[in-house]
């Protein structure tokens, strides 16, 4: 039942993305190196594709990330993640959001983690074209599958959640951008709280090419047995905007 609900909501989420005119999309492709601590302590190759489409009433955002490393022909880190969000804008500041996220981290103790949320957001501050502060709050549904059954023999984790999130973009200059993202998905049944933070700084090198440094933290309050609660990532990468 949980998977059917998630699939139905994801289909709704994807509908405005599918109908968006391709010429209106902007994006960025990222490739670099990533140092991790927590469930994996490795130096990885990481990649990301970010897409955004914005018109008068709609803003559609997609982010796709991966990280991989191996040593002596053995995989030591492997992670794939996709986040999709659509916003219906009531005016220049207020919007309704619908968001879906999916993560497959081979060494996290989960087979996969997924969530779908909807709620209200407000761009409470804006400076020029590149600087803003967004705050949002909503409710939704989480469905995770454990790699190993818990003490009750269950591999599925599913519960209603509340989501709180913030994003600050601040243009330090015409060629440099500071970004801070923070989100927390709070379980309303099992009280498992998943909090994520991403701090990044990017600066233009030449043309559409930029250098980006980022630091990410993910904390799971009720992590699977034998798994760390906190994972960190430090990355240095080249970013190409298009």
Question: Which residues fall within 8 angstroms of residue 89, CB to CB, at 6 or more apart?
Answer: 56, 57, 58, 59, 95
Give the Cα separation of 64 and 72 in Å (integer).
28
Residue 80's CB is within 10 A of a number of other CB atoms, namely 15
Provide the 3-class DSSP secondary structure of residue 227: coil
The first and second tokens of residue 236, run together, are: 């240095």
State the pLDDT confidence band at 23, using cuts at 50, 70 and 90: low
Q: Mean per-residue pLDDT for 135-151?
A: 91
Residue, of 19 and 139, whose pLDDT is higher? 139
The total number of structural domains in the chain stands at 1
Q: Mean per-residue pLDDT for 20-38?
A: 82
Q: Mean per-residue pLDDT for 126-140?
A: 94
Query: Whole-model pTM?
Result: 0.83
Residue, of 119 and 14, whose pLDDT is higher? 119
Torsion sign (Cα): 110, 116, 121, 123: positive
CB of 224 closer than 8 Å to CB of 213: no
* In the predicted structure, residue 11 carries a pLDDT above the cut 60: no
Taking every pair of C-alpha atoms in the chain, what is the biggest distance, in angstroms? 56
* In the predicted structure, residue 1 carries a pLDDT above the cut 70: no
Per-state percent for the chain, helix, strand, coil, to nearest 5: 10, 70, 20
CB of 66 closer than 8 Å to CB of 81: yes
pLDDT given at position 34: 87
pLDDT given at position 22: 55
The string of pLDDT tens digits covering residues 66-77 is 988 777 677 777
CA end-to-end span of the chain, whole Å? 40
pLDDT given at position 7: 46
* In the predicted structure, residue 9 carries a pLDDT above the cut 50: no
- Domain with residue 177: its CATH number is 2.40.160.40
Give the Cα separation of 96 and 88 in Å (integer).
5
Give the Cα separation of 110 and 78 in Å (integer).
12
Residue, of 98 and 43, whose pLDDT is higher? 98
Range of the domain at 225: 2-20+27-241
């Amino acid at each position: 039942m949980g998977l059917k609900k998630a699939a139905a909501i994801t289909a709704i989420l994807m509908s405005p993305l599918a109908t968006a005119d391709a010429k209106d999309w902007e994006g960025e492709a990222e490739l670099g190196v990533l140092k991790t601590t927590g469930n994996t302590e490795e130096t990885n190759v990481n990649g990301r594709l970010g897409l955004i489409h914005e018109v008068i009433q709609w803003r559609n955002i997609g982010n796709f990330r991966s990280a991989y490393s191996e040593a002596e022909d053995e995989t030591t880190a492997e992670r794939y993640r996709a986040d999709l969000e659509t916003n219906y804008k009531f005016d220049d500041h207020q919007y309704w959001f619908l968001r879906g996220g999916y993560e497959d981290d081979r060494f996290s103790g989960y087979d996969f983690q997924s969530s779908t949320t909807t709620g209200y957001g407000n761009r409470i501050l804006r400076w020029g074209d590149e600087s803003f502060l967004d705050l949002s709050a909503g409710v939704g549904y989480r469905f995770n599958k454990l790699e190993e059954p818990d003490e009750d023999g269950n591999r599925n984790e599913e519960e209603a959640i509340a989501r709180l999130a913030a994003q600050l973009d601040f243009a330090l200059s015409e060629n440099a951008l500071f970004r801070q993202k923070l989100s927390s998905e709070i379980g309303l049944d099992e009280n498992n709280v998943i909090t994520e933070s991403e701090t990044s700084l990017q600066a233009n090198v030449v043309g559409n090419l930029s250098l980006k440094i980022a630091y990410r933290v993910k904390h799971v309050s009720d992590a699977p047995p034998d798994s760390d609660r906190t994972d960190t990532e430090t990355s240095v990468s080249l970013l190409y905007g298009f």
